[in-house]
Structure 1
Amino acid sequence: MTCHYVEAGIGKPLVLLHGFTGSSAAWDAIVPHFTQHFRVICLDLPGHGRTPAPSDPARGALPLVAGDIAALLHNLEATPAYLLGYSMGARLALGIALLHPHVVRSLILESGSPGLATEAERAARRAQDEALATRIEQYGIEAFVDEWERLPLWASQRQAPEDMRQRLRAQRLRNTPAELAASLRSMGTGAQPSFWDDLPRLSVPTLAITGALDEKFTAIARDMCARCPMMTHWIIEGAGHATHLERPAEFVQRVIDFIAAHG
């Protein structure tokens, strides 16, 4: 499977992996700041943007998608790359770094996790994701986006500028129910393997970025750092889950500074 991608800029490659309901366009507001320094490659992950979900759900599993992206970066002569992932994209980026470390120069995880630690937790989450996937298919994209935007995870964005929130909503609405449902079933948090026990062997410099208002993922990042000598943690004050949207200037500067220090 090949992911659709767009690229701009010159220099060492910086690969951006978006979150659930996003696409390569999710990074549009900050890409111009990165192209001054890097060859920026933004991917559409399976079930999003212009990359369809595989017809076989098993083929969309995170370890297989990680291998597909590693192969794509080889074909693009974009290895080793600086790899930056947000939320779902951060889980995938971590998987790429663990399973294909030769393609990664350094790793930035924005609001990411290594998955769920126990099979019981994963089974419960798979049931939740299946229920959500079914609702998306039954009620359509607009009803789903309305439900999604009411989640407490996005509470900090309700004070964001109206134009930013409208652009984000329009991007979410460009997804299709069948593709989002397939993404949940194949690469949701419950479907992926746990990487908690693999963190000590992470071999590339890694930065975890979280928003101070996102207490859940800030706690996860602290736990990850306690297990992984290669990882450091930066907390952005006044931001929630999507720090790159809520505090873009600080987010961009922190990424650039980290890459410069570990390039």
Structure 2
Amino acid sequence: MIWTTQQRSDFGQLKAIIKGEGQNIVLLHGVGLRAEAWNAQINAFSQSYKVIAPDMPGHGESNLDAITLDLSSYTKKITEAISEPAIVMGHSMGAMIALDLAIHHPDKVKAVVALNAIFQRDKNAVNAVQKRAKSLDGKTVADPTGPLTRWFSDQESDAATACKEWLINVNPAGYRNAYTVFATENGPSPENLRKLAMPALFITGQNEPNSTPTMSERMAALTPKGQVMIIKDAAHMMPMTHMDEVNQALLSFIEEEVK
């Protein structure tokens, strides 16, 4: 099955699925998940590229050591592990990290892709995400019902089953820390996006209620080499639920923009 657990290798201080040869592509997953969330992309991209999909600190097989409650702490773990300029792709909180990395360490990034990224949430959205963050104690497993409902609208699928398993097995402290950062951050600043010199793709789902199409459109418009793509009928977990459309979009971007 496509979400089967894969073997890990060292990637700096993190553990990662590493496959293929060639130009490096780094794939960063979202809160509560693990590297296997990218399996559809790993399988497709590793035919022509070297794909590195790390587990976020406190997720999968990566330890939570030396992580503080700020985005730069997560970015640092990736920055230290990248040995040559890479194409960096992130989903949800992974998109936050990818953009932060591209903005503050451009020498490490040839191109950046932000999937389902947030940008300037409104007051209601900020209150909702911060309320969820405050409900986490870092000791008990968070009820996965809320995220699964937001991501899959109660529709059963192999992707939903895999996400449920990851959410109930994630390190509670790792989940709380990552979600707290996710709730505290509100996306890159317009000033930083205007300084982003490398090719950048902002891609989200047509039916995404939180990382909305408007957010991606606004970020792309601010970025000198920004592009936007909206995946029809997709929502938050589109790398898993709409893998063919997402893979085609990402591969086309790489082939056209990264020389």
TM-score, normalised to structure 2's length?
0.85
2:249 matches 1:254: yes
Aligned equivalents of 1:7 and 1:89: distance in 2?
A: 17
Aligned equivalents of 1:123 and 1:240: distance in 2?
A: 19
Report how far residue 50 of structure 1 moved. 1.6
- Residues 46 and 54 of structure 1 are in contact (CA less than 8 Å); yes or no, is this contact kept in structure 2? yes
- Residues 126 and 183 of structure 2 are in contact (CA less than 8 Å); yes or no, is this contact kept in structure 1? no
- Residues 208 and 235 of structure 2 are in contact (CA less than 8 Å); yes or no, is this contact kept in structure 1? yes
Structure 1 or 2: more helix by fraction: 1
Report how far residue 159 of structure 1 moved. 4.0
Alignment partner, residue 71 of structure 1: 80
Alignment partner, residue 150 of structure 1: 149
Q: For 1:11-160, list aligned pairs within 5 A.
A: 11-54=22-65, 57-58=68-69, 61-74=70-83, 79-114=84-119, 124=127, 127-134=130-137, 137=139, 140-141=140-141, 144-151=143-150, 153-155=151-153, 158-159=154-155
Aligned equivalents of 1:128 and 1:11: distance in 2?
A: 43
Alignment partner, residue 232 of structure 1: 227
| Identity, % of aligned positions | 23
SS in 2 for 1:28: helix
Gaps of 5+ in 2: 1-11
Tell me the matched-pair count: 246
2:174 matches 1:165: no
1:110–1:130 Cα change, 3 Å = closer
Aligned equivalents of 1:23 and 1:166: distance in 2?
A: 14
- Residues 201 and 220 of structure 2 are in contact (CA less than 8 Å); yes or no, is this contact kept in structure 1? no
Larger mean Cα displacement after TM superposition, 87-96 or 123-132? 123-132
Aligned equivalents of 1:10 and 1:144: distance in 2?
A: 39
Alignment partner, residue 9 of structure 2: none
What is the CA RMSD across the aligned residues, in angstroms?
Answer: 2.5
1:215–1:192 Cα change, 3 Å = closer
Aligned equivalents of 2:188 and 2:125: distance in 1?
A: 9
- Residues 133 and 182 of structure 1 are in contact (CA less than 8 Å); yes or no, is this contact kept in structure 2? no
Aligned equivalents of 2:186 and 2:61: distance in 1?
A: 23
Amino acid at match of 1:149: L
Report how far residue 5 of structure 1 moved. 1.5
1:164–1:123 Cα change, 3 Å = closer
Report how far residue 69 of structure 1 moved. 1.2
Amino acid at match of 1:5: A
Aligned equivalents of 2:236 and 2:126: distance in 1?
A: 24
Report how far residue 30 of structure 1 moved. 2.9
Larger mean Cα displacement after TM superposition, 87-96 or 20-29? 20-29
Aligned equivalents of 1:182 and 1:195: distance in 2?
A: 22
2:187 matches 1:190: no
User: Runs of at least 4 residues of structure 1 off by over 3 A?
Assistant: 114-117, 120-127, 191-194
TM-score, normalised to structure 1's length?
0.84
Report how far residue 125 of structure 1 moved. 6.7
- Residues 91 and 114 of structure 1 are in contact (CA less than 8 Å); yes or no, is this contact kept in structure 2? no
Aligned equivalents of 2:184 and 2:147: distance in 1?
A: 18
Aligned equivalents of 2:225 and 2:209: distance in 1?
A: 22
Report how far residue 252 of structure 1 moved. 0.6
Gaps of 5+ in 1: none
Aligned equivalents of 1:214 and 1:126: distance in 2?
A: 15
Report how far residue 25 of structure 1 moved. 1.5
